Amino acid sequence: MDDNRMTNCTTFLQTRQKTLVALGWTLLVLIAGASLVVDSGSAHSWAEQHVPFFWSLFGFIAAVVIIGIARWLGRSGIQAPTDIYDRSLTPICEEEE
C-alpha cells in the first residue's frame, strides 16, 4: 500500500515538473526579497551588514559544498552499485541448483 502511494506521489510530481520548478523559483525570490527587509542593524559581522542576501548565499554555498562532498564520498567507494542485489543473489541461486 505504501509503495503504491509513493509511486503515485512520484508520478504526480513528475507530471507537474514545470509547475514545481516555477514554484521553487518563486519561493527563492520571496526568500531573497524577505532577506532585504530584515534589519541588519544588529548584524554581527561585516558581511551580514553589507552583502545583500548573505545568509541565502551562505546557505546555498553550504548546500552545494555538502552535496559535492557527499557525491565525492559516494564515488570513493561508499556508494553501492545499483545492481548489487542482482549480483549478490546470483551466486546463492547458482549454489542451490
pLDDT at 68: 96
* Spatial distance between the Cα atoms of 46 and 62, rounded to a whole number of angstroms: 19
* Spatial distance between the Cα atoms of 5 and 52, rounded to a whole number of angstroms: 42
- Each residue's pLDDT tens digit in the chain (97 positions)? 577 888 898 899 899 999 999 999 999 899 888 888 877 778 888 888 888 888 888 999 999 999 999 999 988 888 777 777 777 665 555 555 5
CA 7 to chain centre: 19
* Spatial distance between the Cα atoms of 5 and 8, rounded to a whole number of angstroms: 5
* Spatial distance between the Cα atoms of 73 and 93, rounded to a whole number of angstroms: 32
pLDDT at 62: 97
Residue for grid cell 552583502 = 51
Residue ranges in the chain assigned as alpha helix (H): 2-15, 17-37, 46-50, 54-73, 84-96
pLDDT at 90: 58
pLDDT at 19: 94
* Spatial distance between the Cα atoms of 29 and 36, rounded to a whole number of angstroms: 11
